[in-house]
């Protein structure tokens, strides 16, 4: 028995204290009276496996605080927004990190629960989220590295999406419900005009509350939420809220754009680069990077890897010798050529232009049948280093091209993208 083993076990089980006794026994609990404390010299029994550590003594228990707070777990169980303060107390990101999920979800939770009027389902969604974040809360307390903060942020963002889809309430007001017992979810609730108006009001409030001039992760959470709603409404063939969703997406993007400086190109327009784009050559993206440098995680260098992966497999794809893939590549380059020729831009605007182009071009030139038939080769094509842009891209490609009314469970994209999904 090692002290660390007992400490980790009791933390993951959600207990405030870990106790060691009888050389080898680990016990967990939440009750520890100050009157029971005895001198540390009373705990003189060595642990089996590590004689330098103490596992109690005659009639004594060595007690360690795990840092878990039972009150915090109760807050998580009830969907209390203050749970995220507990989360941040136990796990912190570097100050100013855009991936501070505890701070982001706390702000999101309070505004959405108390300013939104879209019903009981909102509180149930947040209850689902807080309960889902308990797993991360129970991990050993640590100041997260940037990469771990990013992983936890995307875990929380994905959890939000899952909770909206899985949380259902009975008797809520919505335009339609396919459930025989009239249970509806977050998306069905929003199909009534008054609920969509209330939802938009809460989004406007969050935009007003967003940090001005700083990279605010609440905006990315909101953007993902609008994408989730638009995607689900599309699968349901419901278009009554298209205008509202487009307006919200535009407003959110404009706030995101404000966080990034607009810059002039560092190099003039090169006619040979324009020709590369017109002929569908992946080298166009290297030219793009020279004119608008955004670094290895930016649009140009990331999408060059995507383009090269597509070119590597397209001649082996079934159906028309991969011509749909070639049409996608040309379509995207045509769209990005206009961006390349612009007189000023920002890295974020460029990234969004590319993602929008990819989604549109895939929708126009490929269908779910083609992608499903070639799923393994396409998986290989998109096996690229996991930059943030590429994660977003991969999710967009899957959701926009592989989902249909009945749902299409499909494949995993490896190397850090780690996406396995089934839409129902």
pLDDT (tens place) for every residue of the chain, 424 residues total: 578 889 999 999 999 999 988 888 899 998 876 557 788 888 888 888 788 888 888 888 888 899 999 999 999 999 888 999 999 888 887 666 677 888 888 877 876 665 555 556 677 888 899 999 999 899 887 666 777 787 888 888 888 888 887 877 665 444 444 443 456 677 888 888 888 888 888 888 888 877 765 667 788 888 888 888 887 888 788 999 999 999 999 999 999 898 888 999 999 999 999 999 999 999 999 999 999 998 877 888 888 888 888 888 888 887 666 688 888 899 999 999 999 999 999 998 998 898 888 888 887 887 767 776 777 777 777 665 444 555 556 555 655 555 543 344 444 433 333 333 333 3
Residue 318 is given by DSSP the state S
**pLDDT given at position 44:** 86
**pTM of model > 0.85:** no
CB 198 within 8 A of CB 118: yes
CB 15 within 8 A of CB 76: no
C-alpha 329, offset from chain centre? 27
CB within 8 Å of 151: residues ≥ 6 apart: none
Read off the tokens for 368: 């779910």
Q: Is 365 helix (H, G, I), strand (E, B) or coil?
A: helix
**pLDDT given at position 236:** 83
Measured at the CA of 156, the angle between CA 119 and CA 401, to 5 degrees, comes to: 85
Read off the tokens for 332: 């995207």
Which of 55, 62, 76, 221 is CA-nearest to residue 138?
Answer: 76
Residues 38, 40: Cα–Cα separation, whole Å: 6
CB 377 within 8 A of CB 313: yes
């Amino acid at each position: 028995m090692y002290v660390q083993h007992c400490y980790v076990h009791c933390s993951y089980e959600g207990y405030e204290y870990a106790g060691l006794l009888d050389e080898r026994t680990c016990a967990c609990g939440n009750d520890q009276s100050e009157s029971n404390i005895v001198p540390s010299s009373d705990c003189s029994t060595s642990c089996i496996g590590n004689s330098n550590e103490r596992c109690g003594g005659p009639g004594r228990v060595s007690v360690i605080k795990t840092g878990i707070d039972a009150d915090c777990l109760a807050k998580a169980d009830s969907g209390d927004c203050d749970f995220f303060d507990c989360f941040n107390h136990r796990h912190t990101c570097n100050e100013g990190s855009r991936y501070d999920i505890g701070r982001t979800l706390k702000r999101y939770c309070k505004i959405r629960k108390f300013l939104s009027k879209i019903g009981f389902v909102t509180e149930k969604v947040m209850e689902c989220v807080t309960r889902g974040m308990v797993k991360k809360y129970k991990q050993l307390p640590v100041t997260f590295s940037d990469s771990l903060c990013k992983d936890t942020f995307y875990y929380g963002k994905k959890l939000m999406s899952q909770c909206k889809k899985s949380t259902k309430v009975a008797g809520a007001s919505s335009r339609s419900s396919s459930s025989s017992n009239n249970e509806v979810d977050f998306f069905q609730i929003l199909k009534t005009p008054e609920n969509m108006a209330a939802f938009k009001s809460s989004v406007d409030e969050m935009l007003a509350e967003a940090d001005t001039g700083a990279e605010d992760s609440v905006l990315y959470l909101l953007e993902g939420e609008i994408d989730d709603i638009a995607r689900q409404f599309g699968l349901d063939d419901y278009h009554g809220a298209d205008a509202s969703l487009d307006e919200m997406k535009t407003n959110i993007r404009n706030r995101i754009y404000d966080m990034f400086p607009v810059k002039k190109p560092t190099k003039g327009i090169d006619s040979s680069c324009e020709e590369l784009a017109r002929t569908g050559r992946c080298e166009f993206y290297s030219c793009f990077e020279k004119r608008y440098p955004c670094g290895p995680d930016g649009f140009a260098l990331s999408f060059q890897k995507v383009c090269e992966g597509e070119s590597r497999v397209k001649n082996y794809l079934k159906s028309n010798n991969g011509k749909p893939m070639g049409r996608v590549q040309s379509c995207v380059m045509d769209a990005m050529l206009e961006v390349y020729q612009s007189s000023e831009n920002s890295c974020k605007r460029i990234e969004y232009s590319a993602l929008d182009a990819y989604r549109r071009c895939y929708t126009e030139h490929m269908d779910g049948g083609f992608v499903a038939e070639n799923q393994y080769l396409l998986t290989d094509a998109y096996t690229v280093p996991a930059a943030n842009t590429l994660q977003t891209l991969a999710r967009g490609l899957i959701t926009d091209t592989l989902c249909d009314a009945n749902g299409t469970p499909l494949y995993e994209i490896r190397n850090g993208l780690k996406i396995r999904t089934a839409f129902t």
